[in-house]
């Protein structure tokens, strides 16, 4: 009797819950709601440092004048590697890189973190000038080393790049450690944001991130096994995680610019035009006498005299493979991820450069926190709407981050949302009904990025726990409306803690539950977006022409008489 009652109860619960979840998925998702934890998602807390373990830190300084010089249009300049480009293990430089190879790897190390900072800023409310265009402009003006960069006033660089804020970076620690029971990577990055109008520093920070594997052993056999197992932490993908998190910790601490700093009209006019050549020609005499609003201030060089100059614009090593998981990584991480890419023949001739990442749609969670596929706690309808928007928008920002690192010009998601709201969009149905060409014309971009969250669930089974996230991304041409490429992928970030004795099982179960933290969810989301972005071909960057200045004109939707906002 009891067994039949339990079977009937769970069968009834299953038949009740599944249709409800299906009904949630078919409902039209509301857009532009308040995002839950937008400023703290992925930001490490004290218990994250304790559980990882990570003796790292992140310290920032914000100028009292930040609000007056709030960034809008940012150029991330080449970062400086204070090392020599050598592979360092336990403070020992390994031989094998000499001469030109050392210069190339020094440029590669600094360029990796520069692209990551650029990507995370691009996912914020700022307009970022693509790295490729920044480099082309600096090369045209013969700024080809760290010494020359430091000797150039920020105001002059701002005029060259048509930017109001410059980001400088310095990579001071980039090395690996292996000590039998502990192994991992250590990355230390410092950045500073300088106003290109006043020449004053408005933000600075230093982040140190340690990706460490720590195992405890009390007998020789366990010691030998743990020493071998710790070698897996010296992989390329774990280094990429440390780089990502060091950059993210700094960028999430950059304050939001006050709304009063610039009007909405100013933001649209500065963010939408795409400049494919520098604001000032490098030809002699091109700089007008009244180029600056304030007198130039001396720029103190921060380069260290005991280091050789770092050369810029060298071939970047492993650009398309750094951080991309190989079969061994999937096996070690217990990650049954899979990706499917479908590319159109049109991609060969229609290679977009300017992208707008539209709001993503959550088809997986119904606005609930799913634990083993079941809502963990009840939420009201309003809470479900906010969490559907939050879940989708987190992955949307992740895609904007990694597409920005691939030299695409990614329009600020905040600007995209502002324009779409002006056009009367309120739900995902409004977005999916509108023609691609029409929306691309509103936003002034070459292509649109659509996204659909297909999975977002926490898994817990005593000794095993995991986050599983799935996403489908589609890029459609703004010229023809056709789909250029579609990538579907899934990422499962998991941990397995084997145990035999009851006390060990209890301890491992608690540790496995501690794996289901916000920071580990963010890692799964980021790695999913990175794997998808690495499968998308890099854009055809517009040719650099120093003798001409070409600015693409775009139509502002709220000033175009033929495009009236939709009424509801």
**89 or 482, which is more confident?**
482
Query: CA-CA distance, 393 to 401, in Å (whole number)?
Result: 12
Total Cβ atoms within 10 A of residue 559 = 10
The domain limits of the chain are 46-271, 335-534
Residue 218, pLDDT score: 66
- pLDDT tens sequence across 230-240: 788 888 888 89
Start-to-end C-alpha separation, the chain: 55
Three-class secondary structure of residue 460 per DSSP = strand
Chain centroid to Cα 167, Å, comes to 16
- 342 burial level (CB within 10 Å; 0-12, 13-18, 19+): exposed
What is the pTM for the complete model shown? 0.82
Report the pLDDT value the prediction gives residue 259, as an integer from 0 to 100. 57
Here the tokens at position 42 are 């992925």
- Measured CA to CA in angstroms, residue 164 lies from 67, 154, 269 at distances of 13, 9, 14
Handedness of CA 131, 135, 141, 146 (dihedral sign): positive
Q: Under CATH, which number does the domain 335-534 receive? A: 3.40.50.10610
Residue with more model confidence, 288 or 316: 316
Position 135 pLDDT exceeds 60: yes
Total residue count of the chain as it appears in this document: 568
DSSP output for 461-500: ETTEEEEEEEEEEEEEETTT--EEEEEEEEEEEEEE----
pLDDT confidence of residue 416 = 95
pLDDT tens figures, 359-393: 999 999 999 999 999 999 899 999 999 999 999 99
Residue 314 has pLDDT above 80, yes or no: yes
pLDDT given for residue 306 in this prediction: 61
Residue 461, Cβ density class (10 Å: 0-12 exposed, 13-18 middle, ≥19 buried) = exposed
Supply the pLDDT for residue 1: 39
Contact 165, 189 (CB under 8 A): no
> Is there a common fold for 46-271 and 335-534?
yes
Measured between alpha carbons, how far is 408 from 448 in angstroms, rounded to an integer?
12
Structure confidence at residue 42 (pLDDT) = 84
- The single residue listed with the structure tokens 């440029």 is 107
Q: What are phi and psi of 465, to 5 degrees?
A: -150, 155
In 3D, which of 140, 214, 149 has the Cα closest to residue 177?
214
**Nearest 10 degrees: Cα torsion 159, 160, 165, 170:** -140
Inter-axis angle of helices 131-140 and 154-161, to 10 degrees?
110
Q: What does the pLDDT look like over 484-499, one tens digit per residue?
A: 999 999 999 998 888 8
The tens digit of pLDDT for each residue in 506-515 reads 988 998 999 9
Note the pLDDT of residue 326. 86
CATH of domain 46-271: 3.40.50.10610
Q: Calculate what percentage of the chain has a pLDDT beyond 90.
A: 52
């Amino acid at each position: 009797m009891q067994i039949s009652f339990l079977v009937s109860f769970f069968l009834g619960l299953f038949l009740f819950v599944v249709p409800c979840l299906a009904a949630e998925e078919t409902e039209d998702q509301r857009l532009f709601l308040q995002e839950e934890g937008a400023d703290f998602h992925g930001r490490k807390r004290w218990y994250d440092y304790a559980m990882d373990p990570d003796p790292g830190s992140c310290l920032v300084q914000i100028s009292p004048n930040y609000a007056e010089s709030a960034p809008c249009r940012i150029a991330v300049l080449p970062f400086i590697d204070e090392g020599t480009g050598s592979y360092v293990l336990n403070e020992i430089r390994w031989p094998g890189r000499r001469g030109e190879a050392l210069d190339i790897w020094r440029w590669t190390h600094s360029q990796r973190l520069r692209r990551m900072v650029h990507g995370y800023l691009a996912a914020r409310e700022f307009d970022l000038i693509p790295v490729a265009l920044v480099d082309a402009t600096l090369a045209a003006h013969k700024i080809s080393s760290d010494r020359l960069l430091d000797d150039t006033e920020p105001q002059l660089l701002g005029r060259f790049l048509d930017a109001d804020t410059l980001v400088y970076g310095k990579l001071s620690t980039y090395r690996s450690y292996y000590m039998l029971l502990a192994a991992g990577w250590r990355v230390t990055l410092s950045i500073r944001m300088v106003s290109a109008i006043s020449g004053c520093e408005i933000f600075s920070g230093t982040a140190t991130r340690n990706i460490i594997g720590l195992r405890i052993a009390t007998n020789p056999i366990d010691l030998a096994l743990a020493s071998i197992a710790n070698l897996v932490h010296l992989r390329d993908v774990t280094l990429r995680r440390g780089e990502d998190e060091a950059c993210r910790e700094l960028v999430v601490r950059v304050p939001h610019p006050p709304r009063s700093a610039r009007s909405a009209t100013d933001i649209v006019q500065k963010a939408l035009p795409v400049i494919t050549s520098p604001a000032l020609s490098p030809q002699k005499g091109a700089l007008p006498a009244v180029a600056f609003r304030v007198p130039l201030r001396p720029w103190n060089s921060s380069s260290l005299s005991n280091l050789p100059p770092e050369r810029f614009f060298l071939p970047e090593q492993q650009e398309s493979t750094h951080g991309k998981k190989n079969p061994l990584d999937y096996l070690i991480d217990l990650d049954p991820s899979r990706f499917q890419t479908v590319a159109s023949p049109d991609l060969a001739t229609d290679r977009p450069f300017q992208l707008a990442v539209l709001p993503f749609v959550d088809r997986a969670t119904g606005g609930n926190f799913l634990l083993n596929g079941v809502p963990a706690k009840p939420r009201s309808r309003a809470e479900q709407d906010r969490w559907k928007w939050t879940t989708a928008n987190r992955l949307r920002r992740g895609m904007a981050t990694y597409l920005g690192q691939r030299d695409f010009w990614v329009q600020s998601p905040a600007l995209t949302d502002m324009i779409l709201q002006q056009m009367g969009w309120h739900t995902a149905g409004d977005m999916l009904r509108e023609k691609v060409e029409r929306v691309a014309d509103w936003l002034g971009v070459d292509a649109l990025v659509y996204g659909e969250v297909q999975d977002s669930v926490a898994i817990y089974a005593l000794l095993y726990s995991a986050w599983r996230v799935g996403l489908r991304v589609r890029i459609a041409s703004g010229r023809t409306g056709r789909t250029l490429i579609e990538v579907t992928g899934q990422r499962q970030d998991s941990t397995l803690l084997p145990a035999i004795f009851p006390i060990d099982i209890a301890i491992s179960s608690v540790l496995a539950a501690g794996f289901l933290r916000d920071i580990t969810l963010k890692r799964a989301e980021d790695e999913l977006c990175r794997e998808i972005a690495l499968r998308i071909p890099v854009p055809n960057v517009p040719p650099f022409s120093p003798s001409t200045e070409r600015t693409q004109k775009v139509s502002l939707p709220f000033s175009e008489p033929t495009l009236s906002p939709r009424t509801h």
